[in-house]
Chains A and B, each alone.
Chain A
Amino acid sequence: MNGNFDTKHETTLDNLMEGFQLIGFDWHYLYVNEAVVKQSKYKSKEELLGFTMMQKFPGIENTELFVVLKKCMKQRSAYNLENEFSFPDGSTGYFELRIQAVPEGIFILSVDITERKRREKERLEHIRKLEEMMFITSHKVRQPIAQILGFSDLLSNPTSSEDEVKRMTGYMKQSALSLEKFTQELTLFMQDLNINVQKESWA
């Protein structure tokens, strides 16, 4: 890329939020914009340009991502995918990738979705905790309700002795008290949950 036209385009590409990279048939970086530099964790374009993907990201040739890149390079077909990428420093990031065959080799448009994935994981964890609470609630609420229903059924039976009726009303009171205790626990849980959600949204 050279001349005024290319320079103008390069500036435009450098201002893109999305990563834009051109990879040659021999896996060399032919072009990367600033977003790719940032996503790659290298400091400048020069650290990538002229090097192969395998030189800059050793082991990439053994990943599922590379299988897709090879397919695109060979079959000249397009792919869209989400990929968890492992960096040489051991950290990982999530990227949404659009891979396209171009005359120079392949072109990759990349969006860093690591933060979105982190939030998704947190949301799933939040849902899991709520579901867990729901089942605990279900048990703690259902147990005394089932008992009260059981007793109301038994009390409608005229064969129950006076002693049995006394025991049943005593147990019913216990069931009602345990329901009352649980509603207090549930109120506290909801308060804690709201505080945590507020903390997360402030973070």
Chain B
Amino acid sequence: MITREIDINTSVKMLAMKTKLKNVLLIDDDDVANFIHEVVLNNTQCAEKVVTVNSGEEGLRYLRSNIENKRQNPEIIFLDINMPKMNGWQFLEEYKGLDEQEKSKMKVIMLTSSINPTDTEKARHYEDVKGYNIKSMDEETLGRTLMAHFPEYF
């Protein structure tokens, strides 16, 4: 189910974070983008673990399994839009139904190459979506996103 799971064990705090995120989830069918974002996350040392899945469906399975087994869910989910099987929008529709308390601990950030205004507008209508980043996300954008949504970690 999980395409890749990387444990990042280092004390370097590239983003000057007091506390690292426990878990970051990347949902994207584009392996190249996933590679870039994994390297960026790794370089910034912002998370203890990065989980990568290739579809919305796999992402949901991962989240539900964590809830069922009382495992740590990701604090932040980077979600692509254009994916086969279940795309980003379909993922969000299903995500709505997850346990509210669990959802309150997670932030969904769209991470897409789409600059289509219809997509940015649509994303705004989802209460669960907290941000919209354009691919490829570099260290600076990642830093800004984390500071905006997890100021207490800095």
Contacts and interface: CB of A to CB of B under 8 A. Distances in A.
Interface of A: 135, 138-139, 142-143, 146-147, 149-151, 153-154, 157, 159-160, 164, 167, 171, 174-175
A175 B39 CA distance: 17
A139 B138 contact: no
Interface of A is mostly: helix
A157 B35 CA distance: 15
Nearest to B30: A143
Interface stretch (B19-27, B101-109, B110-118, B120-128): B110-118
Contacts of B136: 146-147, 149-150, 153
A151 B36 contact: yes
Chain B interface extent, by class: 10 to 19
A146 B134 contact: yes
Nearest to A149: B136
A138 B114 CA distance: 7
B19 to A, nearest CB: 22
B87 interface: no
Contacts of A151: 36
Given A147-B33, A154-B39, A171-B35, A138 B115 contact: yes
24 contacts: A135-B116, A138-B114, A138-B115, A138-B116, A142-B113, A142-B114, A142-B115, A142-B135, A143-B33, A146-B134, A146-B135, A147-B32, A147-B33, A147-B36, A147-B136, A150-B40, A151-B36, A153-B136, A153-B139, A154-B36, A154-B39, A171-B32, A171-B35, A175-B32
